[in-house]
């Protein structure tokens, strides 16, 4: 992809209202445009990253036998009234009336709607177990939107729901999701912690949170460096008795054993093996898809910009052509782009008529894992200059060495 043909509106200065590293770099790097506080447009680079996160989530959910669907953004308020959560979540729900006077809301989550759907179509234990999921925008009227995608009024979430005959089935579904989540966050390049948590307004018995350590985290855990254990309270380590250290974290995923909380409220039943009518035993499993973007940046950056893991980078290689007026050099750059693409890499070719310093600043800001320079070294001795963004290592490679390098890392 030629930089000159793409849309990357980078900013030289920090925008007003940018509250943290990830917020600042997403706005400056041309990933997001802030329409209002807590409301963002995904620009082409941002959309590429969002799609990569979504694809990782989708692949691991599918591997566990979960089935994708998409429910409606608008939901009848009536189903929320049946569970009582219209009151519990009343402050953050965005409610509207249509021209017929019907009370609706923009969904902040989907337990009620998905249970309603399943109750209409799943009537027998023979159709169980069932795990349904979606990757969808949710809406919450946040009192204080902050930190960019960390706490916004609309956000992309993966929400999944399991339906089982009994608690044993729920335990199996729950373990599948715990395993899938660990694989998802590892592939996204996140350092994360799993802790048992309070189910809160979601209800049910057991829940676990996946937390990413970060300075701007709104959740606080307490860490024992001796046992490498985390706790939610400030008492001494329950294993060795040593004092605990405070660590701020970002919630990136949450899983719940719901039991029959929602199926009872919504009268969602099936016929069991004894031909008796039973309530579905449910679990729900959420991942903040858009929040992952911010969490990854908070853990992977320097003072120049983002340092993406290859799994999420909008372009894995930023190829800087120093002198675009040199037609031979430009042609060599396009040839190199083709070679790297054949190796499965995505390449951004910076062909702009800008000063080299501007190109480097944008390359660091955007955060491609590899910066490749076609300049004086290449003109002198056919050597490509390569910088590895994460380690700051620099290499001078001929074509064969460069190809072998990317074969080994890709």
Q: What is the pLDDT of residue 90?
A: 80
Confidence of residue 204 (pLDDT cuts 50, 70, 90): low
Both tokens assigned to 65: 């036998």
**pTM (2 decimals)?**
0.94
CATH architecture of 315-409: 3-Layer(aba) Sandwich (3.40)
Q: Residue 52 and residue 323: Cα distance in Å, rounded?
A: 32
Q: What is the pLDDT of residue 200?
A: 55
Whether residue 157 is predicted with pLDDT greater than 60 in this model: the reply is yes
* 323/71: higher pLDDT: 71
Calculate mean pLDDT across residues 38-65.
98
Identify the three-state secondary structure at position 138: strand
Q: What is the pLDDT of residue 203?
A: 52
- % of the chain beyond a pLDDT of 70: 98
Calculate mean pLDDT across residues 292-305.
97
Q: Residue 76 CB: number of other CB atoms within 10 A?
A: 15
Q: Residue 253 and residue 194: Cα distance in Å, rounded?
A: 9
Confidence of residue 111 (pLDDT cuts 50, 70, 90): very high
Q: Residue 394 and residue 400: Cα distance in Å, rounded?
A: 17
Q: Residue 41 and residue 277: Cα distance in Å, rounded?
A: 47
Mean pLDDT, rounded, of the chain: 94
Q: Which has the minimum average pLDDT: 21-30, 388-397, 401-410?
A: 401-410
Q: What DSSP letter does each residue of 177-196 carry, written as one string? A: HHHHHHHHHHHTT---EEEE
Helix ranges, 228-326 (H) = 261-265, 289-299
Portions of the chain given CATH number 3.40.50.800: 315-409
Portions of the chain given CATH number 3.30.930.10: 11-302
Q: Among candidates 246, 248, 250, which has minimal Cα distance to 295? A: 250
Q: Among candidates 321, 311, 312, which has minimal Cα distance to 363? A: 321
Q: Residue 10 and residue 340: Cα distance in Å, rounded?
A: 25
Confidence of residue 234 (pLDDT cuts 50, 70, 90): confident
Phi then psi for residue 91, to 5 deg, are -70, -30
Q: Residue 347 and residue 128: Cα distance in Å, rounded?
A: 45
Q: What DSSP letter does each residue of 193-248 carry, written as one string? A: EEEEE--GGG-SS-EEEEEEE-TT-SEEEEEETTTTEEESSSSPPTTT-PPPEEEE
* 275/236: higher pLDDT: 275
Whether residue 198 is predicted with pLDDT greater than 70 in this model: the reply is no
Confidence of residue 380 (pLDDT cuts 50, 70, 90): confident
Q: Bridge-partner residues for 277, per DSSP?
A: 271
Fold (topology level) of 11-302 = BirA Bifunctional Protein; domain 2 (3.30.930)
Confidence of residue 206 (pLDDT cuts 50, 70, 90): confident
Confidence of residue 199 (pLDDT cuts 50, 70, 90): low
> pLDDT, tens digit, for every residue of 59-70?
999 999 999 999
């Amino acid at each position: 992809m030629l930089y000159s043909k793409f849309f990357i509106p980078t900013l030289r200065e920090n925008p007003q209202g940018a509250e943290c590293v990830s917020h600042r770099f997403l706005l400056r790097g041309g990933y997001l445009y802030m329409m209002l506080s807590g409301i963002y447009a995904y620009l082409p680079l941002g959309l590429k990253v969002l799609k990569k996160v979504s694809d990782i989530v989708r692949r691991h959910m599918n591997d566990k036998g979960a089935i994708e669907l998409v429910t409606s953004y608008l939901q009848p308020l009536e189903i929320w009234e049946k569970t009582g959560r219209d009151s519990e979540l009343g402050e953050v729900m965005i409610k509207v009336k249509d021209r017929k006077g019907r009370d609706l809301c923009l969904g902040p989550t989907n337990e009620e709607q998905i249970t309603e759907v399943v109750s209409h179509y799943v009537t027998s234990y023979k159709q169980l177990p069932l795990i349904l999921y979606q990757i969808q925008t949710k809406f919450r009227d946040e009192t204080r939107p902050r930190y960019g995608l960390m706490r916004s009024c609309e956000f992309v979430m993966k929400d999944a729901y399991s339906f089982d005959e009994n608690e044993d089935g729920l335990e199996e579904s729950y373990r599948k999701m715990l395993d899938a989540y660990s694989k998802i966050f590892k592939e996204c390049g996140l350092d994360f912690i799993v802790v048992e948590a309070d189910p809160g307004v979601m209800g049910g018995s057991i829940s676990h949170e996946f937390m990413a350590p970060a300075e701007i985290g709104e959740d606080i855990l307490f860490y024992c460096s001796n046992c490498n254990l985390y706790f939610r309270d400030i008492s001494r380590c329950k294993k060795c008795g040593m004092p605990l250290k405070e660590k701020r974290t970002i919630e990136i995923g949450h899983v719940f054993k719901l039991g029959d909380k929602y199926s009872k409220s919504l009268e969602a039943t099936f016929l069991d093996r004894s031909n008796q009518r039973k309530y579905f035993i449910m679990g729900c499993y959420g991942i903040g898809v858009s929040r992952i973007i911010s969490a990854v940046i908070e853990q992977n950056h320097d003072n120049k910009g983002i340092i993406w893991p290859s799994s999420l980078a909008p372009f894995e290689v930023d190829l800087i052509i120093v002198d675009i007026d040199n037609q031979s050099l430009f042609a060599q750059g396009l040839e190199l782009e083709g070679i790297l693409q054949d190796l499965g890499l995505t390449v951004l070719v910076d062909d702009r008529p800008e000063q080299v310093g501007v190109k480097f600043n944008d390359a660091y800001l955007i955060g491609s894992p590899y910066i490749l320079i076609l300049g004086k070294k290449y003109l002198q001795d056919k050597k490509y200059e390569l910088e590895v963004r994460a380690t700051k290592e620099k290499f001078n490679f001929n074509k064969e060495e460069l190809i072998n390098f990317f074969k080994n890392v890709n």
